Chains A and B, each alone.
Chain A
Amino acid sequence: MKLLDNEYAKNFDFIIFFTVIIISFIGIINLYGSLSVNHKDFFDPYVIKQIIWLMIAYFLMFAIISIDYNTLIEVAYYIYGFIFILIIAVLLKGRITHGASRWISLGMLSFQPSEFMKIGLVFALVKYLTSYENRNCYSVKELIIPLIIILLPALLIAKEPDLGTALIVFFVGIIIIYFAGIKKSAILILTGIALFLGPVLWFHLKSYQKSRILIFLHPAKDYLGAGYNIIQSEVAVGAGRLFGDGFGNGSQSTLNFLPAKHTDFIFSTFSQQFGFFGGMVLIALYFILIIRGFQIVYQTKKLQGFLLGAGALSILALHTIINIYMTIGLLPVVGVPLPFFSYGGTSIIVDMSAVAILLNIKMRRYKFQGA
């Protein structure tokens, strides 16, 4: 306990900590319930792996909160640079899964470096934006370097192609810049550029990405093709009705009608089993987690912590909103995980890191530590 001395431990946020524990616990139960009818096994590899990843993530969380976030900001560029190189490595020599090269395989474990870029970007941006004095209203010219820091990885990730992660990276970056402060003229110019680039980007999307967006607008048009995911997901959610079909009875997932039932569509799996009632409980937990996060960021007295917290919080909020919106047909299908709920080690680590950052800044909000 040398690392966590009492003064910090006093400010440890138990609300966030226990909310995360409850969510991940429900997540494990839900994962059990989603197993295929002919593969029901207590030691299911999906569930076991998920538990292992969660345990790793909790250790990581304690590791992160034991280090002053300022120290982490100091080494931000190294983190950012390292992840950037990994992304390029993936692009050059990635394992092909589902037509996308996102993974780096290290023996038993494989992970997606692009996911880590969400965290890496937050640190790098905060370091850059706080390394100059008295800047809280940036002009376009001053924003060129931050924009490069955001767009370079975002575009590379989009090229993998992993549109979901690229969009999260992009939006998290924009939110941090917004918090840091932008001149009104800069807002106008950047919006103009974005409007101009929109169509250009559209033509660079992969055809399946385009069709996902088009299908989102008219899901019934292509019932068995690209619209299939959305429709099956809505069916699963709707079929839950008020109290759900019960644990393990979500036919949409146990009979494999739902694609990506462990990852992107985990919420649909949950909804068919536990219904509107269960959904409300889960959403309430996420709401507590994120509103508590807002509170922590709001109370943070140091700009570094403030921006860092805003970045971490936006990762969690965007993940939650985009993932659930996607499963109920309010957004096109893009690969975004539901924090602590979707199966997958990388996303657990990323979301846990974000939570750790929030805990970290809360614990150190009164302590003005010299460099």
Chain B
Amino acid sequence: MASKTININLKIWRQKNANAKGSMETYKLDNVSTDSSFLEMLDQLNEQLVNERKEPIAFDHDCREGICGMCSLYINGEAHGPDRAVTTCQLHMRKFKDGETIYVEPWRAKAFPVIKDLVVDRSSFDRIQQAGGFVSVNTSGNTIDANAIPIGKADADKAFEAATCIGCGACVASCKNASAMLFVSAKVSQMALLPQGKVEAKQRVLNMVKQMDEEGFGNCTNTGACAVECPKEISLENIARMNREYLKAMVTAE
């Protein structure tokens, strides 16, 4: 890997806590390796800030390999930055130019209030899952054999693709209405495509959509920005499937 370094300027959202007023602050960072990830660049900036006795920038992150869904960041006006099909932790500095000014903001949505700097509260996503994102089966181990119900590969693969959603919230951050339809529809689709999930399909979609609305997420107006920015490339088909499931549940609910 050819090592190259660049110097960059950063405009980063700073906000002391949920109640404080925030603002964009300017930083300069030199000698950033182009092999560094975006978060490693922020580590480097934080190291510099701490050495200057200044408070480092708070940001969410954990696995740093694109799967936990904890990292966020709205970079130069795009969720997870300019690269496609990546999370911020997989975005590398080779995507930026020497001397470039990079804007970094938190996810912006009513249902994702800022906790500090770039950290937001996404517990609304958890509450949507708690409303119905499961199969009601106890963990006794006394279920039927795993191969008792064959599942066609096409459905199994589609369910898997929907299930790869990491719950990062990029779809919400990218949507002009701050809609969570892509996130919710991914879980609804996964379950609706599998025989194990079909039993509760109607109640599930009604409950999850109800919770989604209560959390203050906006509606879907078919712009499709969510799917473009989704690091796991969750398809818009899922939203269509959820709409069908929802309609079906509405007209046939007991």
A binds B: no
Interface residues of B (CB under 8 A from A): none
Interface residues of A (CB under 8 A from B): none
